Amino acid sequence: MSVFTQVAAADLDDLLATLDLGVVDHLQAITEGVQNSNYFLRTTRGDWVLTLFEHLDQEQAQVYVDLLLHLHAQGLPVVQPCHRHLFILHDKPALLVPRSFATPVQVANLAQLHGLGLWLGRLHRALLTWMGPEHPRAWPWRQAQAAALRTRLTAADRDLLGWAEQIDAQLATLDCPMGGIHADLFRDNVLWQGDELALMLDFYGAGRDALWLDLAICQHDWCRDENGALQQAAWSSFLRGYEQERPLSTPELEVRTQHAFAVAAALRFFLSRQQAALQPAMSGVLVKDPEVYRRILQRLRAESP
């Protein structure tokens, strides 16, 4: 949610008039995140979040609008796009959704983790037959990105990367359930009202992949400490909630399978953050530290089954 495209209040006058949403009262850039440009927008008719898609054309972005509409109809806690369609702003597809004033948590308690797992299980059941695009950072992307970055890494990171790639390649041999995954269900993409999950945000990296990859992504951000160590009570509470909605298959219960997906998930974010960190600095664009996922990969290597 970095700001790649600058939007002024006057840029929205015609749009808001067309949608009958009043006039701009306040417009504030949202600086967290890395993919799209986002703003908090207050008008005389309510509060909204404005998103400009930086890497998708209108047809590609419409896939995710339709996904949100489908999930909302299924009773999932997701935003419903305003007027159910995209518009064009600064030559980019853009979307307005109602703003929620529920809040994220930095450290989830066991009840929240159980609820997170439960809702992720419901999400996966709702997307088992979703025919959306392949997860954009699936194995082919990880393979290509690793090759592109290899010569720019330290010797220690190249060694760690080579090990992780070998584990990642094992996913092709695993017979695990596939479906639509969120692929980015970090703490800042989930809003809470007390212990109740109020909203799941940012589905713009969703795609078809192995369902367990979503669990591994959640494990790393929600259930590990700052040194990359797994907090077993947190992880167990999350899994109990998840299996209440979708029991795991026999292959998914195998230790080596879970380890391979944990490596793949950590590798995905290590590569994307390394890529961003090596780019020239841009004003207003957030670059997240790859060190978090370096530590997780190092721990996973030390704990290899």
> Which residues span the domain enclosing 279?
110-302
Tokens, residue 74: 């299924």
Same domain, 161 and 270: yes
Same domain, 61 and 135: no
Same domain, 290 and 221: yes
The domain boundary residue, chosen from 73, 98, 123:
98
Average pLDDT over all residues of the chain: 93
**Secondary structure E strands in 125-222:** 178-181, 190-193, 196-200, 207-210
Tokens, residue 162: 């080579």
pLDDT of residue 1: 41
Same domain, 158 and 216: yes
pLDDT tens for each residue of 278-300: 876 554 556 688 999 999 999 99
Same domain, 157 and 177: yes
Same domain, 87 and 120: no
pLDDT tens for each residue of 88-142: 999 999 999 999 999 999 999 999 999 999 999 999 999 999 999 999 999 999 9
pTM for the full predicted model: 0.93
pLDDT tens for each residue of 68-84: 999 999 999 999 998 87
Indicate the DSSP class of residue 52: E
Give the three-state DSSP class for 94: strand
Same domain, 14 and 159: no
pLDDT of residue 2: 60
Residue 89 placed within a domain: yes
Structural domains counted in the chain = 2
Residue 4 placed within a domain: no
pLDDT tens for each residue of 239-281: 999 999 999 999 999 999 999 999 999 999 999 999 988 876 5
pLDDT tens for each residue of 135-154: 999 999 999 999 999 999 99
Tell me the sheet residues that pair with 193.
196
The pLDDT confidence band at residue 34, using thresholds 50, 70 and 90, is: low
